[in-house]
Amino acid sequence: MQIRVSSKQLFEQLQERLQLRWIAGQRGESRSIEPGDSSARRPSLAGYLNTIYPNKVQIIGTEELQYLDGLEPRLRWEVLAKICHAKPTALIVAHDQSCPPDLRDAANETDTPLWVSPRRSHELQTYLQYHLARNLARRTTLHGVFMEVYSIGVLLTGDSGAGKSELALELVTRGHRLVADDAPEFTQIAPDVIDGTCPELLQDLLEVRGLGILNVKEMFGDTAVKRNKYLRLIVHLEQQEPQTNPKPIDRLYGDQGSRRVLELDVPKITLPVAAGRNLAVLVEAAVRSHILKGKGIDAAQTFIDRQAHQMRRHSPW
């Protein structure tokens, strides 16, 4: 998936938050930022005015304007030309400072978007870094139902007809929350953190066979849905065919493994689906067990240690 953010999109996303005004270079609205734009350079995607290693979004604060004002006219114009020649996605004048006419002219001549904000320069840099890093992060879409169970993000996966939506509906009735049905989107927002969200088209909706599409928020209230959650566990539903021999399962540890998502290994538990099994209770137990293991409490290892202790006690040697 090719990810990019154009200057027009960036302006619309941040206009209200940063109180931006577009004062010049309106024809440059198609300029964009892509994840690889800063891979071969030292600076970040957004930062203070830099003519040697130009950032994609250049912030012009009080010090930067004072620097420009201290240059002789010819050198000043050369610096402005160099800034615009780098084709930044946008230039932002901070702290509602008066924009120099020659900077405005240079922006219009080169179609360089020029914005003004009443925010201070360090506030602009902090928020722009966060916003761009999140919007340009690697992302993927997985098939399944993403839930919040006991405060952790759990992705329910399985073949079509395995009962994922019915299980999600039962978990919602037991007080857990729905994040996304069918096609949750996952974004790597940190080296070891994957955040899951719901596409706008599917917000608050759950499709259940025989019932059609249900609006979970309207049926169960605002507390039944959640906008996003970090992915911590995958529970895979595996249908058992009675005609075939069941797959052998480790009776001590169960069927546990991991799944690669955005180059991160996410713990995965496989639950056999069979008549009479209460999958909602099993998922809750799986999540509780995962939380305890994170605290260093492993029931299987405890049992093995007890057994080894008993064998040592009754050993004749």
Catalytic residue among 42, 251, 260, 314: 251
Residues of the chain with CATH 3.40.1390.20: 5-135
For 166-201, the pLDDT digits (tens) are: 999 999 999 999 999 999 999 998 889 999 999 999
| CA-to-CA separations, 255 to 40, 241, 268, 271, 316, in angstroms, rounded | 43, 17, 8, 7, 36
Residues of the chain with CATH 3.40.50.300: 139-307
Task: Tell whether residue 163 is among the known ligand binding residues.
Answer: yes
Q: Tell me the pTM.
A: 0.76
Spatial separation of the C-alpha atoms in residues 229 and 151, rounded to whole Å: 9
Task: Tell whether residue 117 is among the known ligand binding residues.
Answer: no
Q: Let me know: does 169 contact 208? Beta carbons within 8 Å.
A: yes
Task: Tell whether residue 61 is among the known ligand binding residues.
Answer: no
Examine the residue annotation and report whether 164 is marked as an active-site residue of this protein: yes
Examine the residue annotation and report whether 56 is marked as an active-site residue of this protein: no
Fold adopted by 5-135: 3.40.1390
Catalytic residue among 17, 41, 143, 247: 143
13: Cα separation from own chain's centroid = 17
- Please give the average pLDDT of every successive group of 10 residues along the chain, which has 317 residues: 82 94 92 67 75 90 92 92 92 93 93 95 92 87 95 93 91 96 91 92 92 94 94 91 64 82 92 87 94 88 84 76
Burial class of residue 207, CB neighbours in 10 A (0-12, 13-18, 19+): middle
Examine the residue annotation and report whether 182 is marked as an active-site residue of this protein: yes
Examine the residue annotation and report whether 82 is marked as an active-site residue of this protein: no
Task: Tell whether residue 151 is among the known ligand binding residues.
Answer: no
Task: Tell whether residue 153 is among the known ligand binding residues.
Answer: no
A 10 A CB-CB count for 208 gives 15
Catalytic residue among 164, 226, 229, 268: 164
Beta-carbon contacts of residue 297 (< 8 Å; ≥ 6 apart):
none
Task: Tell whether residue 164 is among the known ligand binding residues.
Answer: yes
Task: Tell whether residue 78 is among the known ligand binding residues.
Answer: no
Task: Tell whether residue 160 is among the known ligand binding residues.
Answer: yes
Q: Does domain 139-307 have CATH number 3.40.50.300?
A: yes
Catalytic residue among 182, 204, 268, 290: 182
Spatial separation of the C-alpha atoms in residues 119 and 131, rounded to whole Å: 16
- Give the pLDDT score at 302: 84
